Amino acid sequence: MGAACALALLAASAAQAAPAISEAQARAFAARQEAAWNARDLDAYFATFTPDAVFIDQTRDVKHGGMIPYGRSDLKQARAQAAKFLAGATSVERGVVEKVEIAAGGREATLMGRETSTVVSKGRTRRACAQTRQVLVLAGGTLKSKGQTDTIVRCPK
């Protein structure tokens, strides 16, 4: 009985000592992603995602409620699309993390926020705005994103 209790205590201590995501780490992660994107460093940007990451673009169905997805890609597809996009345009993103929800156990966190992209292409400048959501996980002790969902919204004036 003594050995079983000791093992149970060790297991409980190990669980308590397991790394957990903090709000500060999650916010710093988002800042690193933004900096990599704005530097056009696709290697660094896409290294922040898990191999099974999923990227979803959608818009709100104003008339009926709900969402209308119009784009879904895996990591390889998203990287190829980003490279093609950045070959013909410049894009600067400014994001704001509005909320960080850390799951029980601290090994997963959801980032919710908004971003404004200023895109220059063919001599034209336009702004695009989105609400963003991504789930972060600890993978091998490193913070990674499982992907991102961008919901296009009207930019504030």
- For position 37, what pLDDT does the model report? 96
- For position 115, what pLDDT does the model report? 95
Length of the chain equals: 157
- Please tell me the class of the 18-153 domain: alpha beta
Below-70 pLDDT ranges, the chain:
1-18, 60-65, 67-69
Domain boundaries along the sequence of the chain? 18-153
Half-sphere exposure of 153 (CA within 13 A, CB side): 14
Strand, helix or coil for residue 53? strand
